[in-house]
Amino acid sequence: MSQIAENLDSIKQRIAAAAERSGRRADEVKLVAVSKTYPPEVIRDAVNCGQRAFGENRVQDALPKIDALPSDLEWHLIGHLQTNKIRKVIGHFALFHGVDNSGLAVQMNRIAGEFGVTASILLEVNISGEESKFGFNPATLASSLDDLLPLPHLRIEGLMTMAPFFENPDSARPIFEGLRQLRDALSVRSGHPLHELSMGMSGDFEQGIAEGATIVRIGSAIFGSRS
Ligand SMILES: *Cc1c(COP(=O)(O)O)cnc(C)c1O
Higher pLDDT, 204 or 1: 204
For residue 132, the model assigns a pLDDT of 82
For residue 72, the model assigns a pLDDT of 97
- 190 CA from centroid of ligand 1 (Å): 30
- What's the sign of the alpha-carbon dihedral 13, 15, 20, 21? positive
* Whether this model's pTM surpasses 0.85: yes
Domain that holds residue 8: 3-223
For residue 109, the model assigns a pLDDT of 98
The rounded distance, in Å, linking the Cα atoms of 227 and 220 is 10
pLDDT tens-digit readout, 66-98? 999 999 999 999 999 999 999 999 999 999 999
Average pLDDT score, the chain? 97
**pLDDT, average across residues 173-179:** 98
Q: Which of 7, 42, 78 to mutate to test the pocket of ligand 1 (most atoms within 8 A of CB)?
A: 78
- 15 CA from centroid of ligand 1 (Å): 16
- 201 CA from centroid of ligand 1 (Å): 6
- 95 CA from centroid of ligand 1 (Å): 15
Which CATH number goes with the domain that contains 21?
3.20.20.10
Confidence class of residue 102 from pLDDT cuts 50, 70 and 90? very high
The rounded distance, in Å, linking the Cα atoms of 56 and 41 is 15
The rounded distance, in Å, linking the Cα atoms of 99 and 105 is 7
Q: Which atom of ligand 1 is nearest to the CA of 57?
A: 15
CA-closest residue to ligand 1 atom 10: 217
At position 225, the amino acid (one-letter code) is S
pLDDT tens-digit readout, 111-167? 999 999 999 999 999 999 988 889 999 999 999 999 999 999 999 999 999 999 999
Give the binding-site residues of ligand 1, using a 6 Å CB cut-off: 34, 36, 57, 78-79, 162, 201-203, 217-221
- 218 CA from centroid of ligand 1 (Å): 6
How many domains, the chain? 1
The rounded distance, in Å, linking the Cα atoms of 76 and 104 is 17
- 55 CA from centroid of ligand 1 (Å): 8
Q: Which atom of ligand 1 is nearest to the CA of 202?
A: 9
